[in-house]
């Protein structure tokens, strides 16, 4: 209580000084004033104006919700009715404090900040902007109230030294605290600041975190209370004791390491994994000890470093369990947790050891921390020899899911973040070691990147085989993808297609492909695939030595027998040689031997090719020297003749005569006046009108392998006689004396045919009746009349047709 009176007296003294310091603001500075009314309200009464109150103005010197202040830049005393107006104030934001004029302790008028605020941690600021500002509400001072109670453990025993904190609600949590006495009692009226508890809503919170490392620690407990003017509220608390772990850090020689820094990683399910605890810095005490308290659900991993100026041989390490000898990577660290039923007090000793077998590099990050840009991790130099490195990007120390490449493209959700990456090195027979790069940030705004996935490579890394870039899913729609292939980290010239066929120049080198996606309105992103294995040499085509079949003699054909080649799909090419020299144009699997090869041995070379394979070639053994062609046989010919009559419809037969030697094949061709008759190529021929008047012969051709063909023609027949076709003529007209009879011929063919007529009386020729019609005479009465038609055409046989007889001719009526 004494300290609050002292504070109030100091405020009045400062206010008096301020009045003597105030001078007019420069003409160039914008100024204004703050005015309002201060009232008091007794218990059960109404607010009335209060003269003589002190109003103090503190100017905010920084922006934001919790600015810093220049205290007591001005003050005034309220006049009659409680009204006040500040002197000229520079434009800005101000905290307004009001004191009643005197303070006699709890139950009397308290002091407060504008807008009924009790502490300076959550006040309503008043803005001055070049004019007069009037407070939106009166400041009403009231008698203070108080809170009393006890703090005990679950066994009912008082907890001495527990802290009880009082904060106004609603608000951002700032307040004042007091400590319980030996009986666990507290009373806000005894605190330096809590004795000025103005009426309103408050949260009372009790907790006990002993400053002595061996002291018990309890959970906190809170309650909301409403404090009335000149009245008290009682709130008692029962706190639950928490388990704790005490670590003692020792140097390699067993001596304690004081002031050693700790890196504490806490598991946060809401952030998806392990990350830095949101408190600190943390370090061991003078005895090398550090205490962890088991708050509900808490799990941590701890790294113990070496203190500043340390010159010993030990190195920092993670705790890896009660029986471990230290770990050097977060992934191998043991978890410190507090399951149900764990002992209240656990103690572990951590003794630093020598440096691990793996020498860690110093990771750094290059690039611009801006949305849409890509950061690259440079892991530094690790050893000895080959060390497998795993990368994990972190946002504020917490895992960024899925980001384990050496590149990180910054997405909009990372804006404002601080980025780092943890590198973990491992090799067989050695403890894993991790190092984190320095933080880079904050990430500023920028165009969002296109969405992407890391490309992969399909295919076999082998000379001649095709590798294909599989870009994965990129977006949004319309992203243009470009490709660049690399061998051992060096760009391959002109290799900018989605596919790539390694050549001998890439043999023994690992292949990667970098895919770049671009789209208007988005940041361009590039990603590189994992490397393939070293490009292997192309496998050779499996081959056999070919052989040659056939007789090595002019006129014979040799055939290449390639044997077994593989795998499936091998294409075979051939080249024949005579006397060791290639035979021009001889690239088929067969070779017809000519006099040019006579006397020379012949070989064939077979070449097998297949995509992705090294070609193979094999040459056959040589044949014997090519022998001359055998003497050609001669065909002896017979004298062909034609049997039969050359008349239409008659069959003529070829009699070839005697031909030799055995094996001679005979062919036939019938001729008309020496010209071949189409389709007449058999050993016999049926004469048709088409050859009427022409002499028929047959041509016989004898053939024999290796011999010249021989042709012989028969003697021709007499001119062929054609055959006319005609119907029987028919007589029309009446068989009566004096009437005319007429012959109806029908069609005679082939035309033209010359026709003559002879009329017959009872079968006897009638003299002079040689026309196509005949007029019946007296001599014909009682007789039967017929007509004979004779058809003639050159080279055709004459044809005679006689009509049927009429009835007996009747007399003229």
For tokens 């049997």, what's the residue?
A: 643
- What average pLDDT does range 465-486 have in this prediction? 96
Q: Which residue has the tokens 């895992």?
A: 399
Which band of pLDDT confidence, cut at 50, 70 and 90, is reported for residue 172? low
Degrees, nearest 5: CA angle 65-71-74: 115
* pLDDT tens digits along 493-529: 999 999 999 999 999 999 999 999 999 999 999 999 9
What does the alpha-carbon distance between residue 317 and residue 433 come to, in Å, rounded to a whole number? 9
| Residues above pLDDT 70, as percent of the chain | 95
User: Given a cut of 70, is residue 564 above it in pLDDT?
Assistant: yes
Q: What is the mean pLDDT of residues 116-137?
A: 92
Mean pLDDT for the stretch of residues 227-233: 95
Question: For 188-224, what is the HEC assignment?
Answer: HHHCCCHHHECCEEEEEEEEEECCCCCCCEEEEEEEE
Task: Find, among 127, 96, 132, the residue nearest to 114 by Cα.
Answer: 96
pLDDT of residue 351: 95
DSSP β-ladder status, 684-686 and 651-655: antiparallel
Q: How many CB atoms lie within 10 A of CB 526?
A: 15
pLDDT-derived band at 105, boundaries 50, 70, 90:
low
pLDDT digits (tens, 9 = 90+) for 10-52: 433 433 333 333 333 333 458 999 999 999 999 889 999 999 9
Q: From residue 585, give the alpha-carbon distance in Å to each of 75, 317, 415, 417, 796.
A: 116, 79, 73, 75, 61
pLDDT exceeds cutoff 50 at 192: yes
CA distance 539 to 566: 11
Calpha distance 24→22 (Å, rounded): 7
Q: What's the pLDDT at 353?
A: 92
**Mean pLDDT on 266-279:** 90
Q: What is the DSSP string of 544-593?
A: ---EEES--BTT-EEEEE----BSTT-EEEEEEEETTEEPTT--SSEEE-
Identify the pLDDT of residue 16. Answer: 38
The encoded tokens of residue 788 equal: 């004979």
- Residue-wise pLDDT for 296-340, tens only, equals 778 999 999 999 999 999 999 999 999 988 999 999 999 999 888
Q: What is the pLDDT of residue 489?
A: 94
Give the distance between the most distant pair of CA atoms in the chain: 189
DSSP single-letter state for residue 285: -
**Which residues have CB under 8 Å from 240's CB, separation 6+?**
153, 154, 218, 219
- The pLDDT confidence band at residue 641, using thresholds 50, 70 and 90, is very high
Q: What is the mean pLDDT of the chain?
A: 92
Residue 9 has pLDDT above 60, yes or no: no
Burial label for 543, CB within 10 Å (0-12, 13-18, 19+), is: buried
Which pTM was predicted? 0.59
Instruction: Tell the burial category of 76 from Cβ atoms under 10 Å away from its Cβ (0-12, 13-18, 19+).
Output: buried
Q: What is the band of 7 on the pLDDT scale with cuts at 50, 70, 90?
A: very low
Tokens of 325: 């000898």
Distance, CA of 203 to CA of 744 (rounded, Å): 144
Tens-place pLDDT, residues 747-776: 999 999 999 999 999 999 999 999 999 999
pLDDT tens digits, residue range 391-450? 999 999 999 999 999 999 999 999 999 999 999 999 999 999 999 999 999 999 999 999
Query: How far, in Å, CA of 168 to CA of 118, rounded?
Result: 7
Compute the distance between CA of residue 207 and CA of residue 224 in angstroms, rounded to an integer.
15
Q: What is the mean pLDDT of residues 560-566?
A: 95
Q: What confidence score (pLDDT) does residue 173 get?
A: 63
pLDDT tens-digit series, residues 700-759: 999 998 889 999 999 999 999 999 999 999 999 999 999 999 999 999 999 999 999 999
- Residue 135 is given by DSSP the state -
* Total count of residues recorded for the chain: 813
Query: Residue 523 in contact with residue 372, Cβ under 8 Å?
Result: yes
Q: Which has the closest alpha carbon to 15: 58, 51, 68?
A: 58
Q: Choose between 491 and 12: higher pLDDT.
A: 491
Q: Which residue from 665, 668, 669 is spatially nearest to 706, judged by alpha carbons?
A: 665
How does DSSP classify residue 117?
B
Average of pLDDT values for 583-599? 96
Q: Is the preceding omega at residue 45 within 30 degrees of 0, hence cis?
A: no
In the chain, % of residues over pLDDT 90: 85
Q: Reduced to 3 DSSP states, what percent helix, strand and coil does the chain have, rounded to the nearest 5?
A: 5, 45, 50
Rounded distance between C-alpha atoms, residue 531 and residue 511, angstroms: 5
542 burial level (CB within 10 Å; 0-12, 13-18, 19+): middle
């Amino acid at each position: 209580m004494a300290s609050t009176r002292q504070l109030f007296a100091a405020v009045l003294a400062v206010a008096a000084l301020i009045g003597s310091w105030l001078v007019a603001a420069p003409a160039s500075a914008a100024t204004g004033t703050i005015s309002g009314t201060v009232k008091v309200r007794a218990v059960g009464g109404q607010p009335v104006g209060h003269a003589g109150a002190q109003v103090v103005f503190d100017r905010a010197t920084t922006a934001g919700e919790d600015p810093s202040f220049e205290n007591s830049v001005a003050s005034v005393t309220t006049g009659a009715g409680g009204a006040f107006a500040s002197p000229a104030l520079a434009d800005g934001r101000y905290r307004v404090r009001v004191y009643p004029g005197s303070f006699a302790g709890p139950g009397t008028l308290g002091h407060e900040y504008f807008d009924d605020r009790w502490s300076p941690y959550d006040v309503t600021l008043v803005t001055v902007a070049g004019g007069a500002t009037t407070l939106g509400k009166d400041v009403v001072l009231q008698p203070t109230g108080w809170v009393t109670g006890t703090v005990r453990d679950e066994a009912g025993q008082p907890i001495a030294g527990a802290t009880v904190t009082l904060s106004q609600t609603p608000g951002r949590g700032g307040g004042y605290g007091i400590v319980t006495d030996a009986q666990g009692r507290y009373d806000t009226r005894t605190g330096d600041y809590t004795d000025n508890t103005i009426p309103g809503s408050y949260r009372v919170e009790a907790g006990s975190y002993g400053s002595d490392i061996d002291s018990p620690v309890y959970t906190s407990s809170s309650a909301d209370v409403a404090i009335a003017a000149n009245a008290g509220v009682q709130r008692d608390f029962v706190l639950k004791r928490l388990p704790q772990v005490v670590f003692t850090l020792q140097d390699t020689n067993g001596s304690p390491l004081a002031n050693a820094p700790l890196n504490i990683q806490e598991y946060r399910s809401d952030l998806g994994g392990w990350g830095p605890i949101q408190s600190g810095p943390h370090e061991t005490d003078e005895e090398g000890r550090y205490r962890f308290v088991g708050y509900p659900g808490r799990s941590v991993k701890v790294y113990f470093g070496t203190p500043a100026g340390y010159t010993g041989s030990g190195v920092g390490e993670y705790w890896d369990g009660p029986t471990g000898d230290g770990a050097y990577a977060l992934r191998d660290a043991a978890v410190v947790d507090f399951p149900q039923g764990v002992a209240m007090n656990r103690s572990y000793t951590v003794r630093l050891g020598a440096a691990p077998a793996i020498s860690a590099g110093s990771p750094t990050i290059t690039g611009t921390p801006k949305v849409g840009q890509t950061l690259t991790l440079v892991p530094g130099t690790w050893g000895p020899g080959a060390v497998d490195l795993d990368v994990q990007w972190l946002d504020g120390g917490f895992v960024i899911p899925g980001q384990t490449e050496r590149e990180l493209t910054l997405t909009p959700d990372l804006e404002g973040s601080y980025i780092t990456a943890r590198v973990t090195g491992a090799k067989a027979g050695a403890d894993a070691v991790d190092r984190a790069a320095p933080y880079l940030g904050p990430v500023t705004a920028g165009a969002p990147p296109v969405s992407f996935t890391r490309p992969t490579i399909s295919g076999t890394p082998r000379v001649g085989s095709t590798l294909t870039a599989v870009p994965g899913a990129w977006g949004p729609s319309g992203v243009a993808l470009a490709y660049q292939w690399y061998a051992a980290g060096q760009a391959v010239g002109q290799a900018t297609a989605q596919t790539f066929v390694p050549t001998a120049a890439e043999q023994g080198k690992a292949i990667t492909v970098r895919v770049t996606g671009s789209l208007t309105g988005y940041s361009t992103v590039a990603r590189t695939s994992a490397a393939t294995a070293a490009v292997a040499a192309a496998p050779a085509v499996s081959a056999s030595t070919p052989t040659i079949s056939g007789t090595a003699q002019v006129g014979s054909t040799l055939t290449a027998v390639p044997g077994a080649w593989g795998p499936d799909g091998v294409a075979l090419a051939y080249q024949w040689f005579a006397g060791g020299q290639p035979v021009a144009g001889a690239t088929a699997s067969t070779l017809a031997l000519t006099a040019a090869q006579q006397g020379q041995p012949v070989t064939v070379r077979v070449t097998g090719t297949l995509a992705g394979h090294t070609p193979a070639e094999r040459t056959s053994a040589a044949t014997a020297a090519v022998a001359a062609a055998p003497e050609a046989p001669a065909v002896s010919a017979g004298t062909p003749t034609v049997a039969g009559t050359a008349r239409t419809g008659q069959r003529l037969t070829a009699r070839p005569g005697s031909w030799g030697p055995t094996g001679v094949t005979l062919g036939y061709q019938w001729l008309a006046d020496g010209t071949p008759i189409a389709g007449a190529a058999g050993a016999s021929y049926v004469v048709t009108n088409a050859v009427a008047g022409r002499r028929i012969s047959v041509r016989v051709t004898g053939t024999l392998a290796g011999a010249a063909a021989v042709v012989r023609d028969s003697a021709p027949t007499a001119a062929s006689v054609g055959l006319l076709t005609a119907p029987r003529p028919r007589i029309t007209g009446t068989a009566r004396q004096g009437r005319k009879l007429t012959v109806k011929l029908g069609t005679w063919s082939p035309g033209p045919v010359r026709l003559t007529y002879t009329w017959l009386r009872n079968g006897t020729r009638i003299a002079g009746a040689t026309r196509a019609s005949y007029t019946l005479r007296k001599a014909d009465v009682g007789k039967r009349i017929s007509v004979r038609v004779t058809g003639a055409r050159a080279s055709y046989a004459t044809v005679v047709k006689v009509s049927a007889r009429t009835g007996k001719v009747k007399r003229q009526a």
